[in-house]
Amino acid sequence: MSHRFSVEITKQLPEFTLDVAWSAGDGVAVLFGPSGAGKTLTLQCLAGLIRPDAGRIVVDDRVLFDSAAGVDLPPQQRRVGYVFQGYALFPHLTVGQNVAFGLRDRPRAERLSRAAEVMERLGLGGLTHRRTGELSGGQRQRVALGRALAIDPALLLLDEPLSALDAPLRRSLRDELRTILSGWGTAAVLVTHDFTEAYQIADRIVIYESGRVIQSAPRAELLWQPASEAVARIMGLRNVLHGTVVKAMPDRIQISWRGLMLEAVNSPTRSYMPPPESPIAFFIRPEYVRLIRKDRGAPDAAHHMNLMRGRIVGESDFGMVWSLRLRLDAPGAPAQGDFDLEVEVPRLVYEILEIERDRHWEFSIHRGSIHVLPT
Partner 1 sequence: MSADALVALGLSIRVAFFATLLNALLGIPLAYILARRAFRGRALVDLLVTLPLVLPPTVTGYYLIVLLGRRGWLGAPVYAWTGWSVAFTWYAAVIAATVMALPLLVRTARAAIESVDRELEKAAYTLGRSEWRTALEVTLPLAKNGIIAGLVLAFARALGEFGATLMLAGNIPGKTATVPLAIYTAVQTGEMGEAVVLVLTLTILSCIVLMVAGRLGARAA
- Per-position x/- string for 309-348, each x denoting binding to partner 1 as judged by CB under 8 A, each - no binding: ----------------------------------------
Minimum gap (Å) between residue 321 Cβ and partner 1: 40
For residues 247-274, one letter each, b for 16 or more C-beta atoms within 10 angstroms of the residue's C-beta and e for the rest, the string is ebeeebbbbbbbeeebbbebbeeeebee
Q: Does 105 bind partner 1 (CB under 8 A)?
A: yes
Residue 44 or 267: the one with the smaller Cβ distance to partner 1 is 44
Residue 354, by phi and psi: left (phi above 0), alpha (psi -120 to 50) or beta? left
Residue type, 370: I
Nearest C-alpha neighbor of 314 from the set 332, 295, 337, 291: 337
Residue 38 or 48: the one with the smaller Cβ distance to partner 1 is 48
Q: Which stretch binds partner 1 (CB under 8 A): 77-85, 216-224, 269-277, 342-350?
A: 77-85
Residue 74 or 346: the one with the smaller Cβ distance to partner 1 is 74
Minimum gap (Å) between residue 202 Cβ and partner 1: 23
Q: Does 108 bind partner 1 (CB under 8 A)?
A: no
Asked if 354 and 208 count as a contact pair (C-beta separation under 8 A), the reply is no
Minimum gap (Å) between residue 73 Cβ and partner 1: 12
Q: Distance between CA atoms of 342 and 238, rounded to whole angstroms?
A: 7
Q: Which stretch binds partner 1 (CB under 8 A): 22-30, 55-63, 97-105, 196-204?
A: 97-105
Minimum gap (Å) between residue 101 Cβ and partner 1: 5
| Element housing 348 (H / E) | helix 347-352
Q: Dihedrals φ, ψ of 373, to 5°?
A: -110, 110
Q: Does 91 bind partner 1 (CB under 8 A)?
A: yes
Q: Does 92 bind partner 1 (CB under 8 A)?
A: yes
* Cross-strand partners of 261: 256
Interface with partner 1 (CB under 8 A), residue from 84, 184, 272, 288: 84
Minimum gap (Å) between residue 74 Cβ and partner 1: 8
Q: Which stretch binds partner 1 (CB under 8 A): 118-126, 144-152, 235-243, 305-313?
A: 144-152
Residue 73 or 217: the one with the smaller Cβ distance to partner 1 is 73
Q: Which stretch binds partner 1 (CB under 8 A): 42-50, 200-208, 281-289, 354-362?
A: 42-50
Within 10 angstroms of residue 104's Cβ, the number of other Cβ atoms is 7
Residue 162 or 248: the one with the smaller Cβ distance to partner 1 is 162
Asked if 255 and 246 count as a contact pair (C-beta separation under 8 A), the reply is yes
Q: Distance between CA atoms of 344 and 309, rounded to whole angstroms?
A: 16
Asked if 311 and 360 count as a contact pair (C-beta separation under 8 A), the reply is yes
Q: Dihedral sign, CA of 54, 55, 60, 63? A: positive
Q: Does 357 bind partner 1 (CB under 8 A)?
A: no
Q: Does 76 bind partner 1 (CB under 8 A)?
A: yes
* DSSP result, 12-72: EETTEEEEEEEEEESSEEEEE-STTSSHHHHHHHHHTSS--SEEEEEETTEEEEETTTTEE
Residue 50 or 313: the one with the smaller Cβ distance to partner 1 is 50
Residue type, 285: R
Q: Does 148 bind partner 1 (CB under 8 A)?
A: yes
Q: Provide the binding-site residues for partner 1, judged by CB under 8 A.
A: 44, 47-49, 74-76, 78, 80-82, 84, 86, 88, 90-92, 101-102, 104-105, 147-148, 151
